[in-house]
Homo-oligomer: A and B are copies of this chain.
């Protein structure tokens, strides 16, 4: 006898996967609310210790009996010599000293990859999604052996093909519009990320796996769009940032829904990420290099001190391009409303096309 089938994203009652939002916004309460409303809630394992993650899992399961997902950071590229970002370190140290703290130790680590995999083997979840790299076929097989589906974040056709080759069950196709880090395998400064619509079209032409679309989706019409482009669900983060269940910093919430533009920056973490524009990123982009997670750790005390001081200009205010439409709303109500609006948007599009066929003046 076999295991039950792995979770199929096409079978979600609400075509919504909660994006992992490591570093605060993701909480057990948020993940549970999304799963309970028929979507898939995701716990962000990133920046959490394995013990934190075990605790998050327990607290989530207290709140929902529905399937949940866990997002892991794949091990990063090898460390960069600190001399390569010495100017950035000096700038961070000066900014930090203005807030009475110091730059952090720019250490390199793998975010507890092995221990977290071990934990998810002992205490499996419906879906393990992987960001920042390609899991090996062996890792995918280990997770499959527990009954977990494995979803891989991709930003290009090449990454999609590689993920299919190691046995991924579905692909999270992330476009340039997305808030937070670009989750592909490599951070290439000279290459512009694809928008979500070209990415979906290109990946679909190359790979047959179910697609989950991420990037700039904040309305039911946005979800309908990616469903029409053959995705089976939308992965949504920014729209949940101002939910009461989220752990989002109050100074971050205050700027959502406004007209501050977003931009890519490596100044906070050493990896390309999209957030609300800040003075820190604007002034120090020039010295930031590709050095993740070293620069993440370098700026960590600065960001904490800035939050404590109520200074958003030195905080990584991750947000996607759709953030001006974000409003505070309980997560379950948001899932329900977005799903109904998405279904209505698909029906409306069909209806408009049918009316056209009737009225064709030809």
Pairwise interchain contact A201-B221, C-beta atoms closer than 8 A? yes
Pairwise interchain contact B362-A202, C-beta atoms closer than 8 A? no
Which residues in window 65-82 of A have CB below 8 A to B? 66
Which residues in window 150-178 of A have CB below 8 A to B? 157, 175-177
Instruction: Name the segment of A19-27, A97-105, A224-232 touching the other chain.
Output: A224-232
A360, closest chain B residue (CB)? B13
Pairwise interchain contact B195-A195, C-beta atoms closer than 8 A? yes
A230, closest chain B residue (CB)? B221
Instruction: Name the segment of A47-55, A116-124, A212-220 touching the other chain.
Output: A212-220
Which residues in window 309-344 of A have CB below 8 A to B? 320-322, 324-325, 342-343
Residue-wise interface mask of A (339-360) relative to B, using a CB-CB cutoff of 8 A (1 in contact, 0 not): 0001101111110110111011
Which 7 pairs of residues, A with B, have the shortest CB-CB distance?
A198-B216, A198-B321, A224-B228, A225-B229, A177-B195, A195-B195, A228-B228
- Known: A12-B356, A228-B221. Contact between A176 and B201, CB under 8 A? no
Check A197 for interface membership: any CB of B closer than 8 A.
Answer: yes
Instruction: Count this chain's copies in the assembly.
Output: 2
Interface centre among A175, A229, A360 (most CB of B within 10 A): A229
A219 CA / B204 CA spacing, docked (Å)? 11
Residues of A in contact with B (beta carbons under 8 Å apart): 10-13, 15, 38, 66, 157, 175-177, 191-192, 194-198, 200-202, 204-205, 215-219, 221-222, 224-230, 232, 261-264, 320-322, 324-325, 342-343, 345-350, 352-353, 355-357, 359-362
- Known: A264-B192, A356-B11, A356-B12. Contact between A346 and B198, CB under 8 A? no
Pairwise interchain contact B215-A197, C-beta atoms closer than 8 A? yes
User: A356 — which chain B residues lie within 8 A by C-beta?
Assistant: 10-13, 15
Pairwise interchain contact B12-A322, C-beta atoms closer than 8 A? no
A276 CA / B190 CA spacing, docked (Å)? 13
- Known: A177-B194, A195-B197. Contact between A202 and B348, CB under 8 A? no
A15 CA / B356 CA spacing, docked (Å)? 9
User: A230 — which chain B residues lie within 8 A by C-beta?
Assistant: 221, 345, 348-349
A196, closest chain B residue (CB)? B197
User: A322 — which chain B residues lie within 8 A by C-beta?
Assistant: 197-198, 201-202
